[in-house]
Each structure stands twice: as C-alpha cells, then as structure tokens.
Amino acid sequence: TGGLGPLFAEHLLAAGAERVVLASRRGPDAPGMNQLRERLPGIEVVACDVTDRDALTELVARHDITGVVHAAG
C-alpha cells in the first residue's frame, strides 16, 4: 500500500475495473488508506501477510481474485 499499489489500482479503476483489493500487512491502518478509499470508492484495503500461507488462502477464499500485481519494494 505504498506508492505503486495505489497508483496501479487507480489505473485499473480508470480502465474499468469495478473493484481492486489492496493487501498489505498493515491493511487499512497503513498511512493514507482512508484518503485513498474516499478518493477511489472501488478500492478495498485488507490486511494480509502474503508470506503467511493460511492468511493468503483466507484472502483468496474471501475475494473473487482474478489477477495479482506484486508491487512491494
């Protein structure tokens, strides 16, 4: 949920995506997420440590995920 994730999410929404899920360890508690959700209503911000297999499995089970962009680092 740093610089690249929100930027790419904004691009996807502008291109017609109805919903984009941003996942990070801090999720909605990450700086700037409230403002991002206000500005881009199609964004859902969730907490998930993708190195935790169980957490990742739960994330995929709860959301209809059709693509992944790894924008960390």
Q: Among 67, 63, 66, which residue's Cα sits nearest to residue 27? A: 63
Give domain status of residue 16, yes or no: yes
What is the tens place of the pLDDT at every residue in 25-49? 899 998 888 898 899 989 999 999 9
Give domain status of residue 70, yes or no: no
Q: How confident is the model at residue 3 (pLDDT cuts 50, 70, 90)?
A: confident
Amino acid code (one letter) for 44: E
Q: What is the pTM of this model?
A: 0.82
Give domain status of residue 40, yes or no: yes
Q: What is the average pLDDT across 67-73? A: 80
Give domain status of residue 68, yes or no: no
Structural domain that includes position 53 = 4-62
Q: How confident is the model at residue 5 (pLDDT cuts 50, 70, 90)?
A: confident
CA atoms within 13 A on the CB side of 35: 5
Q: What is the average pLDDT across 10-38? A: 91
